[in-house]
Amino acid sequence: ELVHAFERAHTDDAVRVVVLTGAGTVFSAGGDLGQNLAVGAPGGGIGPASLTQLFPAMHALGKPIVAMVNGPALAGGLGLVVACDLVVASATATFGLTEINLGLWPMMITAEIVRSIGRKKALELMLTGERIDAHEAERIGLGSRVVEPADLEAETAKLAETLAQKSSIALRLGLSAFYASQDLDLAPALVYLERELRKVLGTEDAREGIAAFLQKRKPVYKGR
């Protein structure tokens, strides 16, 4: 369902920002363990959709995704958090890679988490299965801001509104370049990013943004 939702958001020009949150008091406790057992059985399939589809769909969206973490984000649920562009967490939220406590390992999450935090902290979470609080998650780079539970929705909405006012084409080109360049060596990354910079500078929104700055007025972006 998330893959389909991101595909719809990708093609809907009215969608400027996506906020991903959990129903009730939990952000996400991870995958369906019963389904995981079926997948791991001899002859088992990969299920309706796998993280090999979901994470690339999130990074290819071209629109900011904000995780509004309203409660525990565990195992695959933490993977969802890390795959988002920004994270606003309730001070009461908890985070953990708890798979090891069930004799499992967060294989798919590895690809995301090692791109966000240091190897030692990532391995500590994976090896111990311990949970950390929101402030520790922010400290090690898993979250971008922590707010009081009563302020979670309002602060997330404020951030989403700020993002929605930016140039949509600049966001799309910028996010695409951010994820495409993260695994390149320095020299080819600079060449690639210079090419992408030319694309941004050639947009109508870039010309409008610069003109508005020089004229000391608010820019009117058209997403072109």
3-state secondary structure of 141: coil
Question: Among all chains, which residue has been given the structure tokens 């030319």?
Answer: 198
Amino acid (1-letter code) at residue 205: D
Beta strands in 50-126 (DSSP E): 65-69, 73-74, 86-90, 94-96
3-state secondary structure of 33: helix
HSE value, Cβ hemisphere, 13 Å, CA-based, for 137 = 32
199-203: which pairs have CB atoms within 8 A and are 24 or more residues apart?
199/173, 200/169, 200/170, 200/173, 200/174, 203/167, 203/169, 203/170, 203/173
CA geometry: angle at 21 spanning 104 and 60, to 5°?
Answer: 80
Asked if 99 is an active-site residue, the reply is: yes
Catalytic residue among 99, 112, 148, 161: 99
Catalytic residues: 99
